[in-house]
């Protein structure tokens, strides 16, 4: 099994690298460095913040050994890579448990909505006090990597029903100079089709753009419904990405 790397064999100075090609690496070595740790050519978020990690741009096979040292036995992390790209073998002591194709999309201007959400519910800010409910919604809908402290890395907003139930949410994840990633977009199955996700993403995008940061996100390449929904908001595909999840087996 192999995974992509950048086309350069030696580490390039960040000034000549587009940071959006390596959003997790530049978040974990930059604005979100206090939420992670690393060694050599590998960085990862703290386990209670996220199960995401990154290898340095232009790094080689030794980076997998660095990552292996950051994982406890049985633990796994997911990484983003450029796609397509040359590849190099995964560290033998790590096991690939997932591979997926994703589109990275960027928004520079929010488009007006075609229709207003049903009932236009008020958006509510989410914080540590809402962590248990956020985790329950994530477990039900599986929008992607999310942990107990993920909400700390950025702004999170949600929709509550009249009885107070949290039924939709979205937030911010990777943070780069001039860019903010939109993530954890999810809606309770019983409340879909009401425009909640559209409203939440528009709110986050408008806030990011007002702060002079272009929002970006990642969506599975085969999820045509989600991609078209994001295109209606104003997102366009920037490039193809590959997501690889690796696990350090127990006893290794």
- pLDDT band for position 1 (cuts 50, 70, 90): very low
Q: Find the DSSP H helices in 69-195.
A: 131-141
HEC letters along 182-217: EEEEEECHHHCCCCHHHHHHHHHHHHHHHCCCEEEE
- pLDDT band for position 159 (cuts 50, 70, 90): very high
Which pLDDT belongs to residue 117? Answer: 57
For residues 35 and 111, the answer to whether their CB atoms sit within 8 Å is no
Q: How far is CA 229 from the centre of its chain?
A: 18
Per-residue CA distances from 172 to 11, 20, 101, 108, 169 (Å): 28, 15, 21, 16, 11
Q: For 189-206, b where at least 16 C-beta lie within 10 A, e where not — what string?
A: eebeebbbbbbbbbebbe
Which pLDDT belongs to residue 199? Answer: 94
Query: In this structure, what DSSP letter does residue 139 have?
Result: H
Q: Which residues pair with 63 in a beta bridge?
A: none
Which pLDDT belongs to residue 120? Answer: 73
CB under 8 Å to 232, separation ≥6 — which residues? 111, 113, 114, 198
User: 93 versus 75: which is more confidently predicted?
Assistant: 75
Both tokens of residue 85? 């790209």
Distance between CA atoms of residues 181 and 54, nearest Å: 15
- pLDDT band for position 115 (cuts 50, 70, 90): low
Judged by average pLDDT, the poorest of 69-73, 78-82, 248-252 is: 248-252
Predicted confidence (pLDDT) at residue 123 exceeds the cutoff of 70: yes
Taking the complete model, does pTM exceed 0.85, yes or no?
yes
């Amino acid at each position: 099994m192999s995974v992509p790397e950048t086309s350069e064999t030696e580490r390039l100075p960040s000034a000549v690298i587009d940071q959006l090609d390596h959003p997790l690496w530049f978040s974990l070595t930059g604005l979100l460095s206090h939420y992670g740790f690393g060694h050599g050519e590998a960085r990862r978020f703290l386990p209670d913040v996220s199960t995401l990690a990154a290898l340095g741009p232009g790094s080689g096979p030794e980076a997998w050994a660095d990552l292996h040292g950051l994982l406890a036995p049985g633990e796994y992390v997911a990484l983003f890579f450029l796609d397509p790209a040359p590849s190099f073998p995964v560290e033998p002591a790590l096991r690939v448990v997932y591979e997926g194709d994703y589109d990275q999309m960027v928004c520079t201007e929010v488009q007006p909505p075609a229709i207003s959400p049903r009932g236009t519910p008020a958006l509510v800010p989410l914080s540590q006090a809402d962590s248990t409910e956020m985790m329950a919604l994530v477990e039900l809908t599986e929008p992607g990597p999310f942990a107990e402290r993920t909400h700390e890395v950025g702004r999170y907003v949600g929709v509550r029903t009249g009885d107070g139930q949290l039924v939709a949410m979205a937030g911010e994840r990777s943070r780069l100079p001039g860019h903010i990633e939109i993530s954890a977009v999810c809606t309770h199955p019983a409340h879909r089709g009401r425009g909640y996700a559209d409203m939440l993403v528009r709110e986050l995008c408008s806030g990011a753009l007002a702060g002079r940061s272009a929002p970006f996100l990642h969506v599975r390449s085969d999820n045509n419904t989600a991609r078209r929904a994001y295109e209606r908001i104003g997102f366009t595909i920037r490039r193809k990405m590959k997501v690889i999840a690796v696990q350090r087996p127990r006893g290794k």
